[in-house]
């Protein structure tokens, strides 16, 4: 059984026991969070598609912690211009969630 959930304007395919990274949520470690924007649920026999979300369905996750991605470098350079160099680095912050259970609503 798996579900597709939406959080932070992105969609994730999750199953029970999976760990996945989402854009940073301001939550404490070892707390539970309920993701109620479920777009799709599938088990072995049938599927349920939301319009756009499935009413009453949710995914219960446990917060495992926060991580940062590797640094991404952005460099801009215009040739034949002496002072036209710009270097910027960025590290995205993530929250790591572990799926505890999938709840299917009516």
Task: Go through the chain and tell me how many residues it has.
Answer: 106
Q: Of the candidates 28, 8, 1, 5, which has an alpha carbon nearest to the alpha carbon of residue 92? A: 8
Using DSSP's 3-state secondary structure scheme, residue 71 falls into coil
Q: Using the predicted structure, report yes or no on whether residue 106 has a pLDDT greater than 80.
A: no
pLDDT digits (tens, 9 = 90+) for 33-91: 999 999 999 988 999 999 999 999 999 999 999 999 999 999 999 999 989 999 999 99
pLDDT at 28: 85
pLDDT at 95: 96
Using CA atoms, how far apart are residues 82 and 75, in angstroms rounded to an integer? 15
Q: Using the predicted structure, report yes or no on whether residue 105 has a pLDDT greater than 80.
A: no
For residue 52, what are the domain limits?
2-103
| Residue 10, strand partner residues | 7
How many domains would you assign to the chain?
Answer: 1
- In 30-84, DSSP assigns E strands to 32-35, 38-42, 47-49, 58-68, 72-77
């Amino acid at each position: 059984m798996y579900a597709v959930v939406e959080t932070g304007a992105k969609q994730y395919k999750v199953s029970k026991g999976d760990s996945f990274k989402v854009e940073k949520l301001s939550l404490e470690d070892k707390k539970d969070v309920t993701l109620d924007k479920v777009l799709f649920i599938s088990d072995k026999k049938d599927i349920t598609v939301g319009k756009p979300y499935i009413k009453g369905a949710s995914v219960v996750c446990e917060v495992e912690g926060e991580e940062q991605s590797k640094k991404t470098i952005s460099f801009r350079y215009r040739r034949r211009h002496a002072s036209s160099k710009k270097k910027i680095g960025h590290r995205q912050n993530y929250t790591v969630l572990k799926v505890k259970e999938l709840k299917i609503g009516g």
